[in-house]
Structure 1
Amino acid sequence: MSYVLGIDLGTSSLKGILMDEAGQVICEKSSGYGIDTPANGYSEQRPEYWVVACEDVLTQLSIAVSDFGEKLAGISFSGQMHSLVTLDADFKPAYPAILWNDVRTTKQCEQIMSTFGERLLSITQNIALEGFTLPKILWLQENEPAIWQKVKKIMLPKDYLSFWFTGEICTEYSDAAGTLLLDIQKRAWSDEILNQFAISKDILPKLIPSMDRVGIVKEEICKRYNIKNEVSVFAGGADNACAALASGIADDEIGLVSIGTSGVFSSFEDKVADYQGKLHFFNHVIEDKYYSMGVTLAAGNSLSWFKETFAKGISFEDMLKDVYQIAPGSDGLMFTPYIAGERTPHIDSQVRGSFIGIDTKHTFNHFARAVMEGITFSLKDSQMIMEQAKQKKFKKLISVGGGAKNPDWMQMQADIFDAEMIRLSVEQGPGLGACMIAAMGLGWFETVEDLIKTFVDYKQATFTPNKENVAIYQAVYQKWQQIYQATKDF
């Protein structure tokens, strides 16, 4: 039985997951790296960091799995989105990669939106934010013109690893959609955008579908890790698209709720939907499909802040063990998770969080529950935009991340979202999505549906909405929505 390797190139580490044709995990390894912050608001990494981490993971796998070299058949990638990688004429990095969480480009975003905002939204279905790639290109043009003159190719982080493996330069549509350079309907680089901002199409990578083969692993890499066979390398996808595939999201009535440091509410989209820039909208790793997503900047981060500030030294489990005793709505106490600004639906980096309605009867458990409810309400904002724009209702939601680990929070999500909540038996995240892309690329499955049946496993126990709680939360949510307008000027 052959193996596929999914490589997830994250912001702080690179993870490799090795799986077989039955969808079973054979081995997982990871290797970390740091972020360089040479100035306030800057966030950079040298592409060499990713190669060193990848070499480390390949070494660990080749040692841990005796038949790694004999059975490896395919490799694919999941990668952090938006980060700008530049190569010179010798195909060496021309400048450190400017990461998705770098915020030096506010001026460039304002310039883009003031001069070209409506057309940009029409072509890309997104507005210019600091995280995207186009503003980073404009910053480099303006602030490092000598460096920009040396740039012969630009790409995304995972594509740099693909280049390292194969010597081929390309990208795929899910990551390209996050650059603000792609016409997402035509699935082509936009000549209009490139001309507007003096970017040559020659420096852009070739576009291919996520499940297409880029090439084969170089001979010298095969020798180094004792790989015996010809190993195909497939294009892969953006981390959020891969995570959606790994959760089995291939139906527009099933959504994904992910609560990590930030929070994401995402939905599969059959065709282009006009959310007027209120949500991110990107091409999917599934051919000719799309996905939309809203982002809460400080989801799990809000709960971590609360714990470190008010419950330092105890576990999350102990901190939350009695929240079930507090009634839905936390007896009038409400929290907004805007401690690091907010993204959806309020694109506001300056707003800050609030506890509203504090009363003498409120205890520690009230505050803990209010934080959980506030995070979930913020994600519901994205759900409401999707449902209202498309006149639909989500029947099921897959919950992953920290919000899926606590049964009281799962029930809270069911009640606030008014949808059945499902958990994965084992969460492998974007790395699993990369494995699934390689499996499809190798022809192991005829359809994505067959692929999902084999690789994605759900827990049998689900959480269904309590209609009484649903009604309570609908009333509380209407009040909660008023907090932003009432407090933003502070």
Structure 2
Amino acid sequence: MDRLSAEYILGIDSSTSGTKACLWTLEGELTASGSAPHSVERPHPGWAEQEASWDGALFRALEQLFSQTDIQPEQIAAVGITHQRHSFVPVDASFRPLSRAILWNDVRCQAEIDFLAEAIGKEKLYRTTGIPPGPWSLAKILWLKGNRPELFARTHKFLLVHDYLVYHLTGELCTTESSASAMGCLDILNRRRWAEPVLSALEIPVDKFVPSIRPAGTVLGRIIPEAARATGLKEGTPVIAAAGDQVCGCLAAGLVKPGQVGVNSGTSLTFQTLTVDPTFDPDCHYILEISPLGCYAAETVVFSGVSDLCEWYRRVFAGLEEQQAQQTGVSVWEVIFAETAAVPPGSEGLMVFPFFQGVQAPYWSNDARGMLIGLSTAHTRHHAARAILEGLAYEARRQIELLESGTGNAIDEILLYGGGARNRLWCQILASVTGRKVKASAQTEATALGAAMCAAWGIKRFQSLEEAVASMGAPYEVFLPDRALFEFYDRLYHQVYQPFYGRVQDLDALRTRLSSFGVSSTT
């Protein structure tokens, strides 16, 4: 089909750092894209806020997209939106923001988390909403209620990023099942209803949330005239319900059935596996969200991921590699990982625990920090680099085993996307440490692609969402476990990695005390 007579799907990803608009064919080819940055404000320790100018960022991203292509607005058949989850903004009755948005990584609400556990009960909240007490939207809304009561009283609605954008594009006030489930106050068993008993007990009016919760693939609304003028999109173009960023990314990576785990290997390591029924973990080790496929997604996370720790390594240790890369004209990562690959498996007795920003399941300690264990004068920075990759793989194995234990489903396939999927050394280490096949996606815009898949399915270009994933999914590289290495890593995992942190967790309090001491000097 001729390029100028073909139809395209627009996938929008409004993330923490920026908005990206991507134009896809029905075969999953990225034909044009545009982006605009967001800034994050941190007015106090532990806070993370953002101006709710997401609509303006989207308009700029689309302006850039249309400047790079001769594809016409009438060729765009549908729009799908994915977004940073948990982040929300309070708005007044005219839908103007009353304050900056509170972001997903804001941790000001520890007192409210403790209150939720006491007032509602950890297990009761988990079995009602799929999400135990934690730094999710619900706890931050409670913080506003207690600390900004005037603002709370003036709030007409608490809008997720997705809801805010949909309102500005279509004039409709609605959200998706997947997006709502991440807030921590949706009735997970009655997925189009808010958990009214929980909200009532907390004295949070349910009418402060959007009234319409819709499944993926349904039409949320159509582009209104004002939005058409601002964006360049054609008036009447349908906007289709999709899901949050990690859910869409896993979908684009091919997560369509139990027995697989989708892994976002970027700034954090996020793990999702599917379960037909809402299978609750007895120890609340994972959260449950609603998948665009109609089933449930069980999710765990490691806050410090491959991209995050590799970037830390580059910044702290790789000055010589930076110089070599500049002199030879190759990527600094190519230099770093060529040297890292030469280090023997096991890093000659060096091990990293990747809890640089705390740890969630199974230890649940915000005070935890990364550890480098076994250091000797024989080790070099290259040993540390390999130990980081191995430590992340050990922790990935633990998270996968937690998901297996809770859901009762064996997982034999890892679907990898994000920055780590382009690190072939880590992909092979991951396969050999976990003993599982790894499929590393070549797609660099997986979240936006997942939203586009939902949109294409929603306008009946595919008979099912699974068919959309099969047709539009990116190629991937397969990494199989080295059986001899698996046996070697298996001993290290069971005999050292798995039991170690549990035995030293009590030292977190001492480490926290250590960090409270300032460094002074005299001259």
Same-fold status (TM-score > 0.5): yes
Q: How far did residue 398 of structure 1 move? A: 1.3
Question: In the alignment, is residue 405 of structure 1 matched against residue 422 of structure 2?
Answer: yes
Deviations 1:149-179 (A, max 9, x none): 1111112111100100011111111111111
CA distance in 2: counterparts of 1:186 and 1:426, whole angstroms: 34
Residue number among 472, 482, 505 corresponding to 1:488 in the alignment:
505
Deviations 1:103-134 (A, max 9, x none): 1101100110122123101112221112x011
- Rate the CA distance shift 1:126–1:88 in 2: closer, same or farther, 3 A: same
Q: How far did residue 471 of structure 1 move? A: 0.9
SS in 1 for 2:387: helix
After TM superposition, list the pairs within 5 Å mapping 1:258-337 onto structure 2.
Answer: 258-275=264-281, 276-287=283-294, 289-300=295-306, 301-312=308-319, 314=322, 315-337=332-354
Q: How far did residue 183 of structure 1 move? A: 1.3
Question: In the alignment, is residue 94 of structure 1 matched against residue 93 of structure 2?
Answer: no
**Matched residue, 1:16:** 21
Q: How far did residue 401 of structure 1 move? A: 2.1
Q: How far did residue 457 of structure 1 move? A: 2.6
CA contact under 8 A between 2:62 and 2:232: conserved in structure 1? no
AA aligned to 2:489 is Y
SS in 1 for 2:417: strand
Question: In the alignment, is residue 153 of structure 1 matched against residue 163 of structure 2?
Answer: no
Residue number among 43, 46, 52 corresponding to 2:51 in the alignment:
46
CA distance in 1: counterparts of 2:130 and 2:492, whole angstroms: 32
Question: In the alignment, is residue 182 of structure 1 matched against residue 192 of structure 2?
Answer: no
After TM superposition, list the pairs within 5 Å mapping 1:30-69 onto structure 2.
Answer: 30-47=35-52, 49-69=53-73
Q: How far did residue 232 of structure 1 move? A: 0.4
CA contact under 8 A between 1:352 and 1:488: conserved in structure 2? no
* Structure 1, unpaired ranges of 5+: none
SS in 2 for 1:93: coil
After TM superposition, list the pairs within 5 Å mapping 1:239-254 onto structure 2.
Answer: 239-254=245-260
SS in 2 for 1:55: helix
Residue number among 355, 358, 366 corresponding to 1:338 in the alignment:
355
SS in 2 for 1:398: strand
CA contact under 8 A between 2:35 and 2:62: conserved in structure 1? no
Identity of aligned residues (%): 29
CA distance in 2: counterparts of 1:145 and 1:391, whole angstroms: 44
- Rate the CA distance shift 1:227–1:468 in 2: closer, same or farther, 3 A: closer
Deviations 1:343-375 (A, max 9, x none): 233221101111111234323322211111111
After TM superposition, list the pairs within 5 Å mapping 1:445-464 onto structure 2.
Answer: 445-459=462-476, 461-464=477-480
438-447 vs 292-301, which moves further: 292-301
CA distance in 2: counterparts of 1:225 and 1:409, whole angstroms: 40
SS in 2 for 1:179: coil
AA aligned to 1:470 is F
**Matched residue, 1:194:** 199
**Matched residue, 2:327:** none
4+ residue runs over 6 A deviation: none
Deviations 1:231-260 (A, max 9, x none): 001122111111111111001111122211
SS in 1 for 2:79: strand
Q: How far did residue 77 of structure 1 move? A: 0.5
CA contact under 8 A between 2:280 and 2:407: conserved in structure 1? no
Q: How far did residue 391 of structure 1 move? A: 4.0
**Matched residue, 1:25:** 30
CA distance in 2: counterparts of 1:379 and 1:225, whole angstroms: 41
Aligned residues: 486
Instruction: Please provide the CA RMSD for this pair.
Output: 1.6
CA distance in 2: counterparts of 1:213 and 1:413, whole angstroms: 39
CA contact under 8 A between 1:281 and 1:293: conserved in structure 2? yes
- Rate the CA distance shift 1:63–1:304 in 2: closer, same or farther, 3 A: closer
Residue number among 428, 444, 454 corresponding to 1:437 in the alignment:
454
Residue number among 129, 133, 138 corresponding to 1:128 in the alignment:
133
CA distance in 2: counterparts of 1:484 and 1:336, whole angstroms: 8
CA distance in 1: counterparts of 2:357 and 2:233, whole angstroms: 46
CA contact under 8 A between 2:453 and 2:465: conserved in structure 1? no
CA distance in 1: counterparts of 2:233 and 2:110, whole angstroms: 46
CA distance in 1: counterparts of 2:133 and 2:16, whole angstroms: 21
CA distance in 1: counterparts of 2:231 and 2:371, whole angstroms: 53
CA distance in 2: counterparts of 1:279 and 1:228, whole angstroms: 41
* Structure 2, unpaired ranges of 5+: 1-5, 323-331, 508-523
Question: In the alignment, is residue 425 of structure 1 matched against residue 430 of structure 2?
Answer: no
CA contact under 8 A between 2:454 and 2:465: conserved in structure 1? no
CA contact under 8 A between 1:69 and 1:229: conserved in structure 2? no
CA distance in 1: counterparts of 2:488 and 2:346, whole angstroms: 7
**Matched residue, 1:113:** 117
